[in-house]
Structure 1
Amino acid sequence: MNDFLDTRLETARCRLRPWRMEDIPLIPPVANTREISWNTSFRFPHPFDEAAAERLVHWSRDGAGGDKWQFAVFLGGKLVGSCGTIRGTDVEAHTAKVGYWLDPAHWGKGLATEIVGELVRYMRDETVIEQLTAVCFGWNPASRRVLEKTGFRQEGLRRGVVRKWGKLTDLWIYGLLL
C-alpha cells in the first residue's frame, strides 16, 4: 500500500495521484452535481457533502494498491475528478472494474479519455491485473466513446437493468484484456 500511495501519474494535461485526507474539503465543490451522480452508482450520492467526501477518501485508501487503485485527478493544480479500479473477487481476482468521474465543466474536452488511457497504461504496466471491465448507462454515450477510444470493446448490453431516480436505462458492458 505505501508504495502505491506515493504513485504519481502524468498525462499531457493532468496529474493523477492517490486520494489524501487533505483532499476531503476539495471534493464537494466538484462532486456535488446531479450530472455526475446521474451517471454513477448510488454509492456516489447527491447531494455530495463533506461526509460523503470523507467516506470516499477512507474507502479509497482501504486496500490501496492491493485491491483498489483510486486516483484524484488534477488539472492546473485544481481537483477536477477521479478515476480508478477495484479488483474483482474470487475467480475474478485477476480482473478489475474501472470507474471515473469528471467535473461537468470539463466534459467534452478529451480529459476523460486522457485520464482513462493513463489508468489503463498504469494497470497494464504496474499491476498484476489481466483484464479490465467498465460499465456505463444507456443515457451516457460520451462515456461509451471514452471507453472505446481507450481500447475497451463492448462485451454486452443488459436492457433496462438500471433504475435511477425513477428512470430506466440499459447497462453497457465493456472489457479490455491487458
Structure 2
Amino acid sequence: MTSAPPPFADTVLLTRRCVMRPWQDSDVALLPSIASTRKISWNTSNKFPYPFGEPEAQRLLRFSNDGAGEDVWQFAVEFGGELAGSCGAIRGTDVQAHTATIGYWLGVDYWGKGIATEMVARLVDYMTLETDIEQLTATCYGWNPASARVLEKAGFEREGVRRGVVKKWGETTDLLIYGRPLA
C-alpha cells in the first residue's frame, strides 16, 4: 500500500543550496525588505507592485494559500537561511486545467548566482512527480534575457512571442512564451 503525499502545508523541497517551502504568516514582515524594489517589479506583473509593503505581502500570502496543493503551488525560497524569493505554479482553468503557469522572482542580492535555475528545475520535478499537471507554461519579458535563460536551462522551449504586448511604466516590450511537457 502506498502512502498519500503529505499535505501541501508540510511540503518542503530542497535544491543544492535552497529550501523551498509554503509561505508562512511570519514571512509577511520579511517580504517588503527584499521585494520592494523597482528592479523586481520591472520584471513582474502589476500584481507585484513597487513599492511593495505589508499589505502587498499579506495579499501574496492569501493568494499563495488559497487552493494550495490543488490549484496553487507557491513556495517561499530560502537561501542561506534567509528569505530570498518565490517560485510557484498556478493551475490553468477550463480546458487548460491539465496545465499550470509558473512564475518566480528573487531579491536583487540573489541575482546572477544560479539560484533561479535551481528553484525552477526543482519546481518542475515536483510538478512532474507530485501533481496531475501535464504541461507547464512560463512567460518573461523581452527586456529580461536572464529569465529566458533560466527557463531554457530548466528544459522549457520558446513557443512564441507576442510583440509589444507588455507595457510597464511607459515602456513597451515583447512577451516571450515558453512551454514544457511533463512526461
> Is it true that 1:132 corresponds to 2:143 in the alignment?
no
Equivalent in the alignment of 2:152: 148
1:89-104 equivalences under 5 Å are: 89-104=93-108
Q: Deviations over 1:26-59 (max 9, x none)?
A: 1100100101100000000100000100000011
Give the gaps of 5 or more residues in structure 2: 1-5
Match of 1:82 among 83, 86, 92: 86
Q: Secondary structure at the match of 1:109?
A: coil
4+ residue segments displaced more than 3 Å: none
- How many residue pairs get aligned? The number is 178
1:2-21 equivalences under 5 Å are: 3-21=7-25
Match of 2:75 among 60, 71, 78: 71
Q: Secondary structure at the match of 1:48?
A: coil
CA distance in 1, matches of 2:80, 2:171: 36
CA distance in 2, matches of 1:28, 1:67: 26
Equivalent in the alignment of 2:51: 47
CA shift at 1:76, angstroms? 1.3
Equivalent in the alignment of 1:123: 127
Structure-1-length-normalised TM-score: 0.98
CA distance in 1, matches of 2:172, 2:80: 37
Q: Secondary structure at the match of 1:143?
A: helix
Match of 1:105 among 95, 102, 109: 109
CA shift at 1:13, angstroms? 0.3
Identity %: 64
CA distance in 2, matches of 1:109, 1:83: 16
Structure-2-length-normalised TM-score: 0.96
Give the gaps of 5 or more residues in structure 1: none
Over the aligned positions, Cα root-mean-square deviation in angstroms equals: 1.1
Q: Secondary structure at the match of 2:29?
A: helix
CA distance in 2, matches of 1:73, 1:113: 12
